[in-house]
Structure formats: structure tokens, C-alpha cells
């Protein structure tokens, strides 16, 4: 294994950010965050428990009920958000290094994609902040009616570790634009960049209590948020299993609405007429981007029989060339998985694949002698009923399935509990259109994959979730509509 470069980064912020200040947890408890390259501890951070959630919610409630954020003009909120975006941009290099250290993601991906995308999200929703308005209603009697679009209130946001800072900005940006106040909990695997971002929010002029950032465990701090009586909405990204727990907690507490962005098992369909070289590139990226830790990964690759053999051969050649190594080294495409639990889970799925008699063509092995690296893996002869074709692996495992006709692949593509995304590679627009209408998923990619944009609603059908993020839909989930009706006494009724 190549010598591990030591990034020159000092971790500056490790405490909970509540009411505009970094504070220790009420219990004084801390936990360690680990470097996925080695499994060694990077540092310890404050651990939020129920008591800290209570303190943070109180601060957010006070900021919502009495503070300036929901009351200032949308223009002013947008201006502060743009300033925040500028500050994140100025600290991008340090944030990227911190993100790679905490998550194991290749550094270039943080520098050139994820953090810039997060910044874009802030600016995108800053632009919406002064364009939120209601309707004038056409009443059927002598009344004047209109709607107000009001911020939903105190929102709880729970994010995962697979794109820590990007998820952070994806969640907070629309909520800030609407005038909500926020308690956000980072994933226990990756608390560092969210704290840094909290400091920058303060410098940008986001008032105390508007953005409260907690680190802590899901079953403790996350669960306390989900059942909190004074949180008005929860937005969650993570596993389907936890999504269900969050909905249950809402049902048993104050019936807060929930937005859930959950797992997937997205099909990527490659038709005989597709350009095979291009298909290899797209399929490779669709499965191995971020070491497979992507909710909308194209983890079921359906290849039509006419090009199946050629595709399989070339996919294996490409996977073998994948540059694995320390994510700080230039040129490295593939770093470690996030932690031991995910590493073990993926290796277990690889064993299931072998047991169920899929053919393992490449990979399937641990890479290096420490940390959580797994080689890019390919199975062919995969059948729809196998575990590796049904369940989310969240790792670098491509399952290749053969099919004959578009009718058949539409039917098979829809046959999982998930419905997040799907892709099709073909030169035939009629086939692409037919596929797009027939798949029960939230996003369809034609001749591309994993293209995600702030102006493009994102979310799942079926058990991939509830609600949409990005675009105006992402904004609406942080608003409440209020109808206002008033008699028209002396004015003409038009
Ligand atoms: P998870 O769903 O347990 O964790 C995601 C977030 O939820 C974290 O912030 C965690 O602290 C929080 N959480 C956990 N339990 C909670 C609870 N009872 N109440 C409230 N919040 C809770 O995901 P985990 O365990 O990290 O990964 C398990 C699997 O989930 C992965 O293998 C993958 O299949 C899927 N996953 C999907 C993601 C996506 O982007 N859709 C992201 C992360 C994981
Ligand atoms: Mg979990």
C-alpha cells in the first residue's frame, strides 16, 4: 500500500453548535470519529443526547418565534445566504481535506464536485428566498381570498455520511430560504465538516439559533429529534429501515410531516444499439462512484443479449484498471468504504452472491492491509431473485443481468421494493420514451447516469422515500400554506 500522506489539517471545531456558540454536550460525553483509510481515531467530538436536542430545539424555537430570520425580507435572507456561499468557497480547500480525512472520499471529488455542488445549492435557494409568494383566490362569494406561504417552523434534519457536506447544504439551503430555523444532526461517522460549516454560517451573519448543528448517534440524538414535540418537520436521508422508524416516531408524537430520501436498487438498462465503449464508461461510473456509496447507484446493470458478452468482458477490463488507494493521492479514483460496519456488510453481500451462484468475475477482495478498502467487484449471471439483485449493497459491486426485450426489462426493472432512479442507454428515442414512462422511479436518465441538478426534483417512488428535494418541490416542503379570507363589504365583487 502506498505511503499514507499526512494532510496538513487541524480539526478546529469539535463541539455542538447551539444558539450561535460551540458548546460541550450537557452530559460531557464525546465519541471518536475515525479515518477510514486506517480505522484510527482522528479526534473526539461532543456527543449530543436527548438533553442537547432539547436545548437546540429551544434555541431554534426561540429564533423562529422571536428572532429576525423568518421576519426579515427574503431579499435579506438571500443576501446572507450568498455571503455564506462565498465564505464556503473561500474555505473550500480546507473543507475538502477535512471531508476526505473523515469520509475517505477521493479529495478531487470533494474539491471539484461535492463542495462546489453544496455551494451551488446555497446560491440556488438564496435566489428563491425573495420569490416565495402565494395566490390570489377566485372566491365564489363576496370575499377576498389569498394564500400566504409561511415557513413551516423548526425543522429537524438528519443526514448520512456518504456525502456529508453536500447533504448538509442540500438540507439547510431550502429551509433557510423559507425562513425556517434548523436543528441538523450529522452522521456519527462524519461530524467534522458540518461543524466547520456552522462556524462559517455564523461569520456570514446567520443569527443565533437559526442553524444548530449536532453530532451524535442515530438511536439517541436522531431518535430524540424524530419524536420531539416541538420540531415541526423532519427531513431525513439514509436507510429505508431508519426512514420507517422516523415516520413511526412522528406518528407517535406530534404528526410532523417527514421527507424521506431512502435507499435504491436502480436499474441501468443497456440496449443492443448502445455504443459499448460509452456504456462501459457510464456503467462503471454509475456503480463505482463514491465507492458505490450512492443512494441512486446503478447497481443492477441489465445488458441486452446481443452485446452482453462484449459488455461483460470490457466492464471487467475497466474495473481492473480502477485506481485504488489513499484518497489523498492524486489520480486515485477509489478509496475506502466508510467504516467497518459497511465494509463487513458489503463483504457479506459478496458471499451471498457467490452462494447464490452468480459468477464472480473480478474483485470481491479486501484491498491493502488496513482500513476499509474493497476492490471493484463484478458478478454476471445474476438472477432477479438473488439477494444481490434485490437489496441495497451500498458498495462497489456491479450485478450484470441479461435480458432479451424492452418489455421484459421494464417488467424486471420495476421488480424491487425501491423506486429511486433508472437509466437507459439506447439510440432509439421511442424505446427511451417508453422506458421513461413505464419505470416507477423518481429520476430517469437517458444516455447518462447520476446527473443531479439543483433545478431537478430528486426523490423516490415506493420504498425509496417520500417527497422531493431540489427545485421548487424542495422549497415547498419547508412551507405551510395559509388561506386568508375577508368579506368584501363595499368593493365590487370581481
Ligand atoms: P442510517 O440510516 O442508520 O443512518 C443515516 C442517518 O440516520 C445518520 O445520521 C444516523 O445517525 C441516523 N439514524 C440512525 N438511526 C436512527 C434512528 N433510529 N432515528 C433517527 N436517526 C437515526 O444508515 P447507516 O446505518 O449509516 O447505513 C446503513 C445502510 O443505509 C447503508 O448500507 C445504505 O444501504 C443505507 N444508506 C443510504 C443512504 C442514502 O443516501 N439513501 C445514506 C446512508 C446509508
Ligand atoms: Mg444505522
SS3 letters across 41-84: EEEEEECCCHHHHHHHHHHHHHHHHHCCCCCCCHHHHHHHHHHH
Do 258 and 290 reside in the same domain of the chain? no
**Which ligand is in closest contact with the Cα of 246?**
1
255 in the same domain as 273:
no
- Helix axes of 164-178 and 115-128: crossing angle, nearest 10 degrees: 10
Q: How many CB atoms lie within 10 A of CB 82?
A: 16
Helix, strand or coil, per DSSP, at residue 345: helix
Q: How many domains does the chain have?
A: 2
CA of 47 to the centre of ligand 2 (A): 16
Q: Is the CB of 339 under 6 A from ligand 1?
A: no
Ligand 1 atom closest to 245 (CA) = 18
* Residue 342 Cβ contacting ligand 1 at under 6 Å: yes
Owning domain of residue 277: 267-446
Answer whether residue 451 is part of any domain. Answer: no
User: Rounded CA gap, 289 and 167, in Å?
Assistant: 16
Give residue 434's Cα distance to chain centre.
Answer: 28
> Are residues 328 and 417 part of one domain?
yes
Other beta carbons less than 10 A from residue 438's beta carbon = 17
Name the H helices within 258-374: 276-288, 305-321, 340-355
Residues sharing a CB contact under 8 Å with residue 140, sequence separation 6 or more, in sequence order: none
Q: What is the CATH number of the domain that holds 320?
A: 3.40.309.10
Q: Are 224 and 217 in contact (CB under 8 A)?
A: no
Q: Whose CA is nearest to atom 15 of ligand 1?
A: 218
Q: Within the chain, which residues score under 50 in pLDDT?
A: 1-3
Q: Residue 2 has what pLDDT?
A: 42
Where on the phi/psi map is residue 24: left (φ > 0), alpha (ψ -120 to 50), or beta?
beta
d(CA 429, ligand 1 centre) in Å: 38
Concatenating the DSSP letter of every residue in 101-157 gives HHH---HHHIIIIIHHHHHHHHHHHHHHTT-----EE--SSSEEEEEEEEE--EEEE
Task: Identify whether residues 201 and 293 lie together within a single domain.
Answer: no
Of 99, 114, 188, 261, which is the active-site residue? 261
307 assigned to some structural domain: yes
Q: Parallel, antiparallel, or unpaired: how do β-strands 211-214 and 421-425 relate?
A: unpaired
Q: What is the CATH number of the domain that holds 44?
A: 3.40.605.10
Integer Cα distance of 449 and 421 in angstroms: 9
The bridge status of strand 136-137 relative to strand 143-151 is antiparallel
Ligand nearest to the CA of 163: 1
- CA torsion sign for 53, 58, 61, 66 is negative
Atom of ligand 1 lying closest to residue 185 CA: 9
Q: Is 360 exposed, middle or buried (0-12, 13-18, 19+ CB in 10 A)?
A: middle
Cell 416565495 -> residue:
132
In this structure, the residue with its CA closest to atom 25 of ligand 1 is 239
Q: Is 221 in the pocket of ligand 1 (CB under 6 A)?
A: no
Residues 280 and 147 in one domain: no
Q: Which of 31, 220, 242 to mutate to test the pocket of ligand 1 (most atoms within 8 A of CB)?
A: 242
* Atom of ligand 1 minimally distant from the CA of 243: 2
In DSSP terms, 212 is beta-bridged to 183
Digit-coded pLDDT (tens) for 244-271: 999 999 999 999 999 999 999 999 999 9
CB under 8 Å, gap of 24 or more: what pairs does 79-82 form? 79/126, 80/204, 80/205, 80/206, 81/122, 81/123, 81/125, 81/126, 81/129, 81/173, 81/176, 81/177, 81/204, 82/122, 82/123, 82/126
| Alpha-carbon gap, residue 188 to 64, rounded angstroms | 27
Instruction: Please confirm, yes or no, whether 295 is among the known catalytic residues.
Output: yes
> Is any atom of ligand 1 closer than 6 Å to the C-beta of 226?
yes
Are residues 236 and 302 located together in one domain of the fold? no
214 lines ligand 1 (CB under 6 A): no
Q: Flag whether 65 is in a domain.
A: yes
CA–CA gap between residue 93 and residue 106 (Å, rounded): 13
Same domain, 87 and 157: yes
CB 168 within 8 Å of CB 469 = no
| Whether residue 94 is found in the same domain as residue 118 | yes
Residue 459 lies in a domain: no
Answer yes or no: are the C-beta atoms of 23 and 15 closer than 8 Å: yes
- 218 falls within a domain: yes
**Position 279 in a domain:** yes
Q: How far is CA 453 from the centre of its chain?
A: 13
Nearest to 179 by CA among 200, 134, 210: 210
Please check whether residue 18 is in contact with residue 202, taking contact to mean a CB–CB distance below 8 angstroms: no
Residues 192 and 286 in one domain: no
pLDDT of residue 6: 60
* 268, 273, 276, 279 alpha-carbon torsion, rounded to 10°: -30
Does some domain include residue 491? no
Q: Nearest C-alpha to atom 18 of ligand 1 is from which residue?
A: 219
pLDDT at 490: 83
- Considering the domain architecture, whether residues 158 and 254 belong to the same structural domain is answered as yes
What is the C-alpha separation between 92 and 10, in angstroms, rounded?
A: 15
Residue with the three cell numbers 449493497: 393
Are residues 277 and 147 part of one domain?
A: no
Report the mean per-residue pLDDT for the chain.
Answer: 97
Q: Whose CA is nearest to atom 12 of ligand 1?
A: 218
- CB proximity list for 475: less than 8 A, separation 6 or greater: 125, 128, 132, 174, 177, 178
Residues 106 and 36 in one domain: yes
The verdict on pTM exceeding 0.85 is: yes
Domain assignment of residue 454, yes or no? no
394 CA from centroid of ligand 2 (Å): 13
User: What gap in Å lies between CA 380 and CA 395, rounded to an integer?
Assistant: 16
Alpha carbon distance 6, 68 (integer Å) = 43
pLDDT value at position 415?
A: 96
Dihedral sign computed on CA atoms, order 431, 433, 437, 440: positive
Contact 62 CB / ligand 1 (< 6 Å): no
Residue tagged active-site, from 295, 333, 380, 392: 295
Residue 152: half-sphere exposure toward Cβ, Cα within 13 Å:
23
- Cell numbers standing for residue 268: 441501468
Residue owning grid cell 478498502: 373
Amino acid at each position: 500500500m502506498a505511503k499514507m500522506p499526512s494532510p496538513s489539517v487541524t480539526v478546529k471545531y469539535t463541539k455542538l453548535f447551539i444558539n450561535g456558540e460551540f458548546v460541550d454536550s450537557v452530559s460531557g460525553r464525546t465519541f471518536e470519529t475515525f479515518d477510514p483509510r486506517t480505522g484510527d481515531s482522528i479526534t473526539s467530538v461532543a456527543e449530543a443526547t436527548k438533553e442537547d436536542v432539547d436545548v437546540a430545539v429551544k434555541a431554534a424555537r426561540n429564533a423562529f418565534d422571536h428572532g429576525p430570520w423568518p421576519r426579515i425580507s427574503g431579499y435579506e435572507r438571500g443576501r446572507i445566504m450568498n455571503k455564506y456561499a462565498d465564505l464556503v468557497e473561500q474555505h473550500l480547500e480546507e473543507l475538502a481535506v477535512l471531508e476526505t480525512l473523515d469520509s475517505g472520499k477521493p479529495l478531487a471529488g470533494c474539491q471539484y464536485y461535492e463542495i462546489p455542488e453544496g455551494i451551488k445549492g446555497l446560491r440556488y435557494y438564496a435566489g428563491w428566498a425573495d420569490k416565495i409568494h402565494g395566490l390570489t383566490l377566485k372566491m365564489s362569494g363576496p370575499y377576498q381570498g389569498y394564500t400566504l406561504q409561511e415557513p413551516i417552523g423548526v425543522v429537524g434534519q438528519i443526514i448520512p455520511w456518504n456525502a456529508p457536506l453536500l447533504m448538509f447544504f442540500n438540507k439547510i439551503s431550502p429551509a433557510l430560504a423559507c425562513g425556517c430555523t434548523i436543528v441538523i444532526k450529522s452522521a456519527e461517522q462524519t461530524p467534522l465538516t458540518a461543524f466547520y460549516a456552522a462556524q462559517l454560517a455564523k461569520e456570514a451573519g446567520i443569527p443565533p439559533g437559526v442553524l444548530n448543528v449536532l453530532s451524535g448517534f442515530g438511536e439517541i440524538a436522531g431518535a430524540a429529534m424524530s419524536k420531539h414535540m416541538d420540531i415541526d418537520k423532519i427531513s431525513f436521508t439514509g436507510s429505508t429501515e431508519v426512514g420507517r422508524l422516523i415516520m413511526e416516531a412522528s406518528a407517535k408524537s406530534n404528526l410532523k410531516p417527514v421527507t424521506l430520501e431512502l435507499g435504491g436498487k436502480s436499474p441501468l438498462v443497456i440496449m443492443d444499439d448502445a455504443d459499448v465503449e460509452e456504456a462501459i464508461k457510464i456503467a462503471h461510473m454509475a456503480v463505482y462512484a463514491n465507492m458505490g456509496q450512492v443512494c441512486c447507484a446503478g447497481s443492477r446493470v441489465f445488458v441486452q443479449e446481443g452485446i452482453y458478452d462484449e459488455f461483460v468482458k470490457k466492464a471487467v477490463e475497466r474495473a481492473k484498471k480502477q485506481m485504488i488507494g489513499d484518497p489523498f493521492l492524486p489520480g486515485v479514483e477509489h478509496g475506502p468504504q466508510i467504516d467497518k460496519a459497511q465494509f463487513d456488510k458489503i463483504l457479506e453481500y459478496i458471499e451471498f452472491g457467490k452462494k447464490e451462484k452468480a459468477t464472480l468475475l473480478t474483485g470481491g477482495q479486501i484491498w491493502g492491509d488496513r482500513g476499509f478498502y474493497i476492490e471493484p467487484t463484478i458478478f454476471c449471471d445474476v438472477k432477479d431473485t438473488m439477494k444481490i439483485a434485490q437489496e441495497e449493497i451500498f458498495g462497489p459491486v456491479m450485478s450484470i443481468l441479461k435480458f432479451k426485450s424492452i418489455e421484459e426489462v421494464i417488467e424486471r426493472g420495476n421488480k424491487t421494493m425501491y423506486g429511486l432512479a433508472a437509466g437507459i442507454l439506447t439510440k432509439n428515442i421511442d424505446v427511451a420514451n417508453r422506458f421513461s414512462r413505464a419505470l416507477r422511479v423518481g429520476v430517469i436518465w437517458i444516455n447518462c447516469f447520476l446527473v443531479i441538478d439543483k433545478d431537478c426534483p430528486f426523490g423516490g417512488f415506493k420504498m425509496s422515500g417520500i417527497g422531493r428535494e431540489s427545485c421548487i418541490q424542495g422549497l415547498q416542503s419547508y412551507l405551510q400554506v395559509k388561506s386568508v379570507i375577508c368579506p368584501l363589504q363595499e368593493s365590487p365583487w370581481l
